[in-house]
A and B are shown apart, each in its own frame.
Chain A
């Protein structure tokens, strides 16, 4: 059961619950921050999330006047360099990320640039190769519940000039603390709630089953799945409910911790390619691909998927299903579970998501070159990926 060797780290302090936002100034104060820069996007600035954050600082000797809202949908080196300039010029000393995946990745990139110095972030691309420098206090407030980025050691940053994406994997990317306050995810519309929630489900399923799995990451994944299958449908129906929102934020964070330490597999390899080649949003790609990729992995992962039937479908179904049928039953459950979100506009086929048949070849070629392919239990060939894509079409 135990891997021959594994590593596990989650150094992020998690502050979860009602009015969690209020505790941010205290934490930053303890970390010695006096002038954080806030990174967010234009929508959050408009919908009031930013105001709520700024308000909690009133009376504190912490200056939160520096706000950058111009974050592009794909975090890019251009934005990072620009923000780094502002950070230095204005004498900032900490980073607060308020937003979804791209805001958080931009903030991670900014911290690398500020901490490591130098003028070319490309020299720091790679796996576990960032040397520790003086730390810049870093807080993350996720406004979606899916990416888990608040607790992952990965950042992907685009370099539009060279037309490449740069990938960074390092424990040094982990923030100091993250705040899960239901107030911050309430404005998410049902469709986004559904597709980010399914992203979290994929993180948990892949973390539980990939080559890098270990008992600690599996515990987080297992518990996250139970929360997602219990609360995601409820959060989609009633987004104003604190309990549902908080449960999903916790699930996403736990799934993030799991996959940060186990990595993800073929669903993400193909999903990244769908994003790159056909611009399918990440959560949508995950929703379409998960059942098909589980079917592809089933012969290797029958017993692992069988174990997941318990948190997926609950004790009743698990006990009723004969052991050897549990893996297939888990795939069946996941297929139906995702299908229910068609009602809020989540596409479940590639054609419905606007993918063209002539793009499948390029998607497959990109997918087999994605690092996530490496830890999938079966190394898929290009032909096999095309088969999966055709089945999902």
Chain B
């Protein structure tokens, strides 16, 4: 029982780490990938998106506040314009380790969304662009059809995103 709990805690921790990286990736991609910039700008100057895992998190908040891009880890119940909430940590882990695409996650009912569903496609594309920068192609080609082209090479992307 204790071991199971620790295991779940570890998984939540891992998802949290990837979320932090993803947040940095989104911010860096906003700078170097005009497709990502266009998609984020299309959501408006005050649109926040929270990705979280029920029932306690971890949670990532990103988007634009007063016209400026930001990303940060946040509390489970921090409000946001659009909230994408995984029903459990296993589904989140599959997604955040590049083993399940967003379309597949949606098809498998792995998450709920609160807010304007018409903005979800833009978020999906942002994720696809950023994931295709962060993950090698042998992973992304399993979860995306087609895989978007990289804007910069993987090493440069990681260096850029870690120091942002």
Contacts and interface: CB of A to CB of B under 8 A. Distances in A.
Contacts of A127: 111-113, 117
A70 interface: no
A371 B108 contact: no
A371 B118 contact: yes
A379 B118 contact: no
A240 to B, nearest CB: 41
B116 interface: yes
Contact of A371 (B110, B114, B117): B117
Contacts of B128: 379
Nearest to A369: B121
B22 to A, nearest CB: 19
Given A368-B121, A369-B122, A371-B120, A3 B108 contact: yes
B146 A378 contact: yes
A167 B109 CA distance: 17
A164 to B, nearest CB: 7
Interface stretch (A4-12, A99-107, A249-257): A4-12
A145 interface: no
B95 interface: no
Interface residues of B, number: 24
A375 interface: yes
A370 B121 contact: yes
Given A379-B144, A379-B145, A374 B113 contact: no
Interface string B85-122: 00000000000000000111011111111111110111
A86 B16 CA distance: 49
Contacts of B144: 379
Contact of A300 (B109, B124, B145): B145
A300 B113 CA distance: 29
Given A3-B108, A379-B103, A379-B146, A166 B121 contact: no
A245 to B, nearest CB: 34
Nearest to A122: B116
Q: Is the interface of A mostly helix, strand, loop or mixed?
A: loop
A327 B145 CA distance: 20
A380 to B, nearest CB: 10
B121 A371 contact: yes
Nearest to B84: A127
B112 A128 contact: yes
Contacts of A263: 107
A34 interface: no
A128 B109 contact: yes
A215 interface: no
A125 B107 contact: no
A342 to B, nearest CB: 33
Given A300-B145, A371-B121, A373-B121, A125 B116 contact: yes
A7 B114 CA distance: 20
A165 interface: yes
Interface in B43-60: none
Given A127-B112, A377-B145, A167 B121 contact: no
Nearest to A272: B118
A393 B144 CA distance: 29
A212 B106 contact: yes
Interface string A293-335: 0000000100000000000000000000000000000000000
B106 A166 contact: no
A211 interface: yes
A263 B106 CA distance: 10
A43 interface: no
Nearest to A300: B145
Contacts of A6: 107-109
B49 to A, nearest CB: 13
B116 A374 contact: no
7 contacts: A4-B108, A5-B110, A165-B118, A300-B145, A370-B121, A371-B121, A377-B145
